[in-house]
Structure 1
Amino acid sequence: MRRITAGLFIALDGVVAEPQDWHFPYFNEEMGAAVGEQMGTADTMLFGRTTYEGFAAAWPEREAAGGPDAEMARHFGDVRKIVATRHDIALTWRNSEVLQGDLVAAVTALKQEPGGDIGLSGSVSIVRQLLAAKLIDELHLLIHPIAMRSGMRLFEEAETPLPLTLLRSATFETGVIHTVYGPGEILEGGYEQARESLS
């Protein structure tokens, strides 16, 4: 079965909105390697409409410019790109298509197809839905040492918690923490159990 990996730049207070306004001062080779690890192995990319339009406006030009990011831009252009949207959209980037049908059902079927990893970058609304459906195998959070104090957060208020399992983590020289989570189970226990760990 294919894996789905999702990557997000996130502030300490959970804000994921407009990362281009605050995360670039923290971008170094360590972060570049982490992004490459998560997205560079994917042969399919899944987007929400807004993220797709942002990527489609930027990455083809970067590929044509031939700069240091041209190789990543070429990879993004070559892979299959699927856009989950209920709106009409101009598919201006090569190898792009619109996801047909219900998101969870369609992504469940996509995971059963032959192929490599399916990568998401941003696309918060899609990530939320797929996390709730336990369809994301790895959630890569690049946690920046800044609290934005306003803006959309990754996790909305809901009636039920969303447990995750920490798979691995690393701290970068900039203070960014790269955490990778998988699906988890809700743990049980109370103070009686916890107090046995007190010194």
Structure 2
Amino acid sequence: MRKITAGLFISTDGVVESPEQWHFKYFDDELGAAVGALLGASDTVLMGRTTYDVFAGAWPAVEEAGGEEAGMAKAIGDTRKIVVSRQDLSFTWRNSEQLKGGLIEAVTALKQEEGGPIGMSGSVSVVRQLLAAGLLDELNLFVHPVARGAGMRLFDELAGPIELTLLSCRAFAGGTVHMVYGPAAA
């Protein structure tokens, strides 16, 4: 069975909204390597429409520009990208497709397909639903040393508790802590 691993930038007070406005101050080589390893290990990326729009609006141009991040941009472009949306979508970025059917049923089927790990970056509403359904195998939280005070929090909309097990924890020199959680043992 394929493994689904999600990664989120999060503030110390649990805010995951608009990390592009606050997380770059803390971005360093250690954080970059951890995030790169997370997506780089995946042969499929699952994301919500909003995250897809952000990625598709940035990564193809980064690849075309040929700078320092062009290799990562090409790798993401070459990876199969599956977008979760209730709206019919059309795509301009290569290797992009829309998830067909209901989220839980379709992701359950996706996990049964042949292939490697499925990565996620952002896509908070999808992460929440997969956590609640027990379909997320790893939740990577990159906790930044900042309290936002306001904004969407990761666990604001849970119907009930979700038990997790800490798999690993590592502090980076820049102050970000990388915590990896998995489902609680039965």
Equivalent in the alignment of 1:133: 133
Paired residue total: 186
Q: 2:146 corresponds to which residue?
A: 146
Residue 16 of structure 2 corresponds to 16
State the Cα distance separating 1:89 from its structure 2 match. 2.4
**TM-score (norm. length: structure 2):** 0.97
Map of 1:181 onto structure 2: 181
- 2: distance between equivalents of 1:36 and 1:16? 19
Question: SS in structure 2 opposite 1:42?
Answer: coil
Tell me which residue corresponds to 1:71. Answer: 71
Greater CA drift, 114-123 or 150-159: 150-159
Which residue number corresponds to residue 5 of structure 2?
5
Unpaired runs of at least 5, structure 1: 187-199
1:49-198 aligned at under 5 Å gives the runs 49-184=49-184
CA distance in 2, matches of 1:95, 1:17: 27
Which deviations, in whole Å up to 9, do the C-alpha atoms of 1:96-137 show, x marking residues without a partner?
111000101100110011101101100000000000011111
The runs of 5 or more residues in structure 2 that have no matched partner are: none
Q: Secondary structure at the match of 1:154?
A: coil
Q: Which amino acid aligns with 1:160?
A: G
TM-score (norm 1): 0.91
1:72-97 alpha-carbon deviations (Å, 9 max, x no partner): 10011001111110113231110111
Identical columns (%): 61
Matched residue SS, 2:108: helix
Write the distance in 1 (CA, Å) between the matches of 2:157 and 2:28: 33
Give, in angstroms, the shift of residue 158 of structure 1.
3.6
3-state SS, counterpart of residue 178 of structure 1 = strand
Misfit runs of 4+, over 4 Å? none
The structural deviation recorded for 1:159 is 4.3
Partner of 2:32: 32
Any idea what SS the aligned residue of 2:43 has? strand
**Residue 185 of structure 1: how far off its partner (Å):** 5.0
Query: Offset of 1:157 from its aligned partner?
Result: 4.2
| Other-structure match for 1:189 | none
